[in-house]
Amino acid sequence: MRRLAALVVLLVTIAAAAGGIAAFLMWQRIHEPYKGYGLTERFIDIAPSTGTATIGRRLVDAGVVRDMSTFRAALWWSGRSRGLQAGEYRFDRPIAAIEVVDRLARGDVYARRITFPEGLTIREMARLYETRDFGTEASFLEAARDGARIRDLDPAAADLEGYLFPDTYALPRGTPAHRLVGLMIERFRATYNEELRRQARDQGLTTRQVVTLASLVEKETGRGDERTLVAAVYRNRLKLGMALQADPTVVYALLQAGRYDGNIRRPDLAIDSPYNTYRYPGLPPGPIAAPGKASLETSLLPARVSYLYFVSRNDGSHVFATTLAEHNRNVRQFQILYFRR
């Protein structure tokens, strides 16, 4: 009887030891980094409602997880077998199965970046959106037509031209255009904050007027040291009732008419469009592009100068003038004689 009892104890001890060893081996296996693919990176796209077994097979087939038993063990160990989330995931290094499960449970999907530079129109943004494979140009244009999303700031907004803030956005794959447009509006609201709105009110300007003026500044110069000067020229002209004569507004009018080929010719300056500031005084009816933060700020805080004119030096900078005679000399030097040379 004693021998039997001792044997039972021995067997239990062996079983416990074996179980402990198995548990240790399992723990070691699911925490061991693994990379079974030869490429630099691997993308796994998990559709909504995909079962855990199918997810496991996708990960194993892609070389992200060693085998199904390792995947099942990691699921069991984590206790998150019912919480794996859909989306696109990127793997670019050896990674432990337990970390793979944790990443899927957190929904740590891969976010692709898209950058909209300052000064783009809605149509240019839409083309970029499609070119970068985020979605169709048509879907972006459709989302950007919803002027109601900004009407609290601009009751006259028929669309979102000027209000889609230029910046870099990180988006999970499959993000619809209307969601991106919403993010861009939120970024605009955060940038055109209460302080800038207060300054606009104090100066008797509407949000639409500020954004429109800022869009002209954005299109005229990319130099930070010139923005306040360009803004001053336009503010001075508006104060005196002079025509703004801004070439970018003519370009915008030509684009709307489907007539812009990359150049402005003298007859184009007479195009009959409310956006043509050579023909119609004051600001154009609305923004002609998306201004960045600096252009919004300088439109409200222009330089204290008397300049009324500027002309390109053909190197990205401009020369400014107060009188027409001075401006004509600058035009002769930097345009007529420059191109003759």
- pLDDT over threshold 70, residue 8: no
Task: Report d(CA 220, CA 209) in Å as an integer.
Answer: 17
Question: Residue 340 domain-assigned?
Answer: no
- When pLDDT is cut at 50, 70 and 90, the band that residue 11 belongs to is very low
Question: Residue 331 domain-assigned?
Answer: no
For residues 65 and 119, state if they share a domain: no
Question: Residue 103 domain-assigned?
Answer: yes
> What average pLDDT does the segment 272-294 reach?
96
For residues 102 and 138, state if they share a domain: no
Shortest CA distance to 220 belongs to which of 148, 105, 91, 311? 311
For residues 91 and 130, state if they share a domain: no
For residues 37 and 105, state if they share a domain: yes
Question: How does pLDDT run across 211-249, given as a tens digit for each residue?
Answer: 999 999 999 998 999 999 999 999 999 999 999 999 999
Domain span at residue 38 reads 23-109
End residue of a domain, out of 191, 226, 243:
191
> What average pLDDT does the segment 114-118 reach?
97
Q: What is the pLDDT of residue 7?
A: 47
- When pLDDT is cut at 50, 70 and 90, the band that residue 19 belongs to is low
Question: Residue 77 domain-assigned?
Answer: yes
- pLDDT over threshold 50, residue 207: yes
> What average pLDDT does the segment 188-200 reach?
97
Place of tokens 């929904």: 107
Please give the torsion angle defined by the CA atoms of residues 257, 258, 260 and 266, in that order, rounded to the nearest 10 degrees.
-40
Kindly give, in sequence order, each residue whose CB lies less than 8 Å from that of residue 62, ignoring residues fewer than 6 positions away.
37, 42, 44, 91
Question: Residue 6 domain-assigned?
Answer: no
Question: Residue 62 domain-assigned?
Answer: yes
Entry pTM: 0.80
> What average pLDDT does the segment 106-113 reach?
89
For residues 154 and 79, state if they share a domain: no
Share of the chain above pLDDT 70, in %: 92
Higher per-residue pLDDT: 24 or 254: 254
- pLDDT over threshold 80, residue 24: no
Q: What is the pLDDT of residue 1?
A: 60
Split into its structural domains, the chain has a count of: 3
Place of tokens 């109601």: 148
For residues 104 and 128, state if they share a domain: no
- pLDDT over threshold 90, residue 18: no
For residues 156 and 242, state if they share a domain: no
Shortest CA distance to 120 belongs to which of 244, 218, 263? 218
Question: How does pLDDT run across 63-105, given as a tens digit for each residue?
Answer: 999 999 999 999 998 888 788 999 889 999 999 999 999 999 9
Question: Residue 222 domain-assigned?
Answer: yes
Question: Residue 3 domain-assigned?
Answer: no
For residues 99 and 129, state if they share a domain: no
Task: Report d(CA 174, CA 169) in Å as an integer.
Answer: 14
For residues 209 and 303, state if they share a domain: yes
- Token pair in block for residue 266: 């003298």
End residue of a domain, out of 142, 165, 191:
191
Task: Report d(CA 87, CA 250) in Å as an integer.
Answer: 44
End residue of a domain, out of 109, 136, 157:
109
For residues 147 and 102, state if they share a domain: no
Q: What is the pLDDT of residue 247?
A: 94
- Least confidently predicted of 72-81, 96-105, 107-116, 289-298: 72-81
